[in-house]
A and B are shown apart, each in its own frame.
Chain A
């Protein structure tokens, strides 16, 4: 980059003939002391709250005891990982996590694309903007609020939606929020409600970038509305869809701790337990620091593999990918 060679803009740097010298560590430190000083608090944050925990991951290979500390606790190799893979929890956690990931990929991922395309076809701009304003709102509400709304609307005694379905379908009243069978549909519905509107923004931006001459030309050639959509609109957002798919797949196992935790009750644990909530449960409430860190590390490493894997795949398929 040519701009990297731009002369440093301090008065000291303007001495003739010394411009291109290779800065030693000390002169650089002295010359840019103010910039380094400004960098320091942020750097300290990243070291303390991001890199110390990364070092702390080593307790996954120890039997960590708080009073012995990171260096004093005995090393046990892959014991906790063996325990995880051979234990009774792994199958259930993997199954629940993957089912949720699959449901998200099938229902939640395409939803904003579809709604963005629908909004794009809406030619009444005031109506379009009003609808956009409304569907963005839930994005800003906390998961606590979303969970509370769910409990209030679906509860067996007062819930409007529970009552509505009961009157519509008859039969016994169903306690949707407590039933393991209803856990996944509710999670998917919450995700759709909260994120679909907001998710359209990125696709709408891609759609706004389409050259309108293309539509004009297509009309001249006699293309109807559907063919314009198929040959111009859809190809225009394909790169965005690929990038979003790569980004999302890296978080395949991230089920959203807050959402799942808030919807987990005593009765629906069999379908609600996923890696994220299991880590909290084992680590914080049971105090099994090493074991839960091992579970978290496994999940994190799978996430890294997934993001690199899907990026590679996107490139193989002739798309630009992320990096």
Chain B
């Protein structure tokens, strides 16, 4: 309670509790952030420094050799570009599919709406599971295709229901006016409803983009060709205990240095951290919206 501070009794016990509480929470915050800062510092440190200093948040000597190596090597750049493209295209596809489906589902008078909604909700309780889904993707000829990283996850049922609830609460008068002016439903959707939904479109674009960027299971299941690896797969291959075998599979046979591992982790994390201020704002709103509607 923000305004409690003025009226709270300041007994000794209460103060001791406050001090302990602040100390403990600060400790939690530090545990959260220190590993990330160490990896960032380590990615700019020399191999010798990483080996000799147990823990540091600022390298003694600032070197960028690992990053130069990364951006010189075809494998990294290809994985990075692949991930950026798949994330961009995937987010557009997902947002478009989710919003166009949510709009008719928000129309209470639409015959058949309840049936479709129930079909959607049922998928939250029960799914076919990993192998049957894999077989469907395979039968569609999408193995080793980038579409396999996008289409099987095209609509998140939770997001769909949240967007539907949002549409239901939009004022109907504007839509009505557009219809009287001779707009069909498709026109109303694109000309009236979508422009009104910009904040929620931003929210769910971020939701979906983070989902694809971070996805490891889909490439693991559907992508065999090492030329089509995404960044997450590359991070995994480099940092897993049997990294040597993985690197032997790539064009260059070498042992990934500790600094290189740090740098790859930084590159795969950085976009998330750059978008984090927006993420935080929108995501907490989205989570609450979802929880209210459930």
Q: Tell me, yes or no, whether B226 is within 8 Å of chain A by CB.
A: no
Q: Tell me, yes or no, whether B100 is within 8 Å of chain A by CB.
A: yes
When distances are taken between beta carbons in the complex, the residues of chain A under 8 Å from B151 are 45, 49
Q: Tell me, yes or no, whether A42 is within 8 Å of chain B by CB.
A: yes
| Most A-side CB within 10 Å, residue of B129, B134, B265 | B129
Selected contact of A23 from candidates B25, B111, B279, CB within 8 Å:
B111
Interface residue SS majority, chain A: helix
Interface residue SS majority, chain B: helix
| Docked-complex contact A115 and B28, CB < 8 angstroms | yes
How near does chain A come to B68, taking the closest CB pair, in angstroms? 21
| Docked-complex contact A53 and B1, CB < 8 angstroms | no
Name which residue of chain B comes closest to A24, CB basis: B111
How far is it, in angstroms, between the C-alpha of A56 and the C-alpha of B129 when the chains are bound? 9
Q: Tell me, yes or no, whether A6 is within 8 Å of chain B by CB.
A: yes
| Docked-complex contact B101 and A225, CB < 8 angstroms | no
| Docked-complex contact B50 and A8, CB < 8 angstroms | no
| Docked-complex contact B128 and A54, CB < 8 angstroms | yes
Q: Tell me, yes or no, whether B249 is within 8 Å of chain A by CB.
A: no
| Docked-complex contact B39 and A41, CB < 8 angstroms | no
| Docked-complex contact B129 and A145, CB < 8 angstroms | no
When distances are taken between beta carbons in the complex, the residues of chain B under 8 Å from A230 are none
How near does chain A come to B22, taking the closest CB pair, in angstroms? 7
Q: A122-B22, A131-B26 are in contact. Are A52 and B116 (CB under 8 A)?
A: no
Which residues 19-39 in B have Cβ within 8 Å of A in the complex? 21-22, 24-26, 28-29, 31-33, 35-36, 38-39
* 9 shortest interchain CB distances as A-B pairs: A53-B128, A42-B101, A56-B132, A142-B214, A296-B129, A34-B185, A53-B132, A148-B239, A35-B104
Residues of A within 8 A of B (CB): 1, 3-11, 23, 28, 32, 34-39, 41-43, 45-46, 48-57, 59, 66, 115, 118-125, 127, 130-131, 133-138, 140-145, 147-149, 151-153, 158, 160, 163-164, 177-178, 193, 196-197, 201-202, 205, 210, 212, 215-216, 219, 224-225, 243, 250, 257-258, 261-262, 265-266, 276, 279-280, 283-284, 289, 292-293, 296-297, 299-300, 303-304, 307, 322
